[in-house]
């Protein structure tokens, strides 16, 4: 497997996927306004927010880091990202899931086995 150096950390505690496509002319301040006004979240919390365009071939991730916004941008040359449908506006993700999404996996299909809870064996 190839090393990925400019990626969101797998240890990020809060990651949110914004499911609706956005106008990709928005830069950090425009995305921060969307987070604040439309979602009611503080864009300064340190959470990472991931956005896509209508064609689903680009991703922007926004995160506040200490004293400024970090804006991660990836544009695919040929394919599209497997973006979950707009069931809810936001979808919480783990650091591993956002990296799977960036690698091209359909994160809506990546589900482990269900957890079982038993009271006794017999």
Task: For residue range 45-88, list pLDDT tens digits in order.
Answer: 999 999 999 999 999 999 999 999 999 999 999 999 888 876 66
Per DSSP, 34 falls in state I
On whether the CB atoms of residues 102 and 74 are closer than 8 A, the answer is yes
Model pLDDT, residue 12? 83
Short-list 61, 105, 111, 99, CA closest to 83? 105
What SS3 class is residue 42?
coil
Short-list 38, 63, 36, 60, CA closest to 50? 60
Number of Cβ within 10 Å of residue 31's Cβ equals 20
Q: Is the pLDDT of residue 1 over 60?
A: no
Residue-wise pLDDT for 14-38, tens only, equals 999 999 999 999 999 999 999 999 9
* 47 vs 1, residue with greater confidence: 47
Segments making up each domain of the chain, as ranges? 15-103
What is the phi-psi region of residue 14: left when phi exceeds 0, alpha when psi lies from -120 to 50, beta otherwise? Answer: beta
């Amino acid at each position: 497997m190839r090393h990925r150096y400019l990626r969101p950390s797998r240890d990020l505690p809060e990651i949110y996927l914004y499911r609706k496509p956005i106008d990709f002319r928005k830069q950090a301040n425009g995305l921060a306004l969307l987070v604040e006004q439309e979602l009611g979240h503080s864009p300064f919390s340190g959470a990472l927010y991931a956005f896509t365009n209508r064609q689903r071939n680009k991703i922007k991730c926004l995160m506040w880091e200490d004293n400024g916004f970090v804006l991660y941008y990836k544009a695919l040359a040929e394919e599209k990202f497997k973006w979950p449908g707009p069931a809810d506006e936001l979808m919480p993700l783990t650091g591993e899931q956002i990296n799977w999404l960036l690698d091209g996996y359909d994160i809506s299909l990546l589900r482990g086995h269900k957890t079982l809870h038993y009271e006794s064996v017999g």
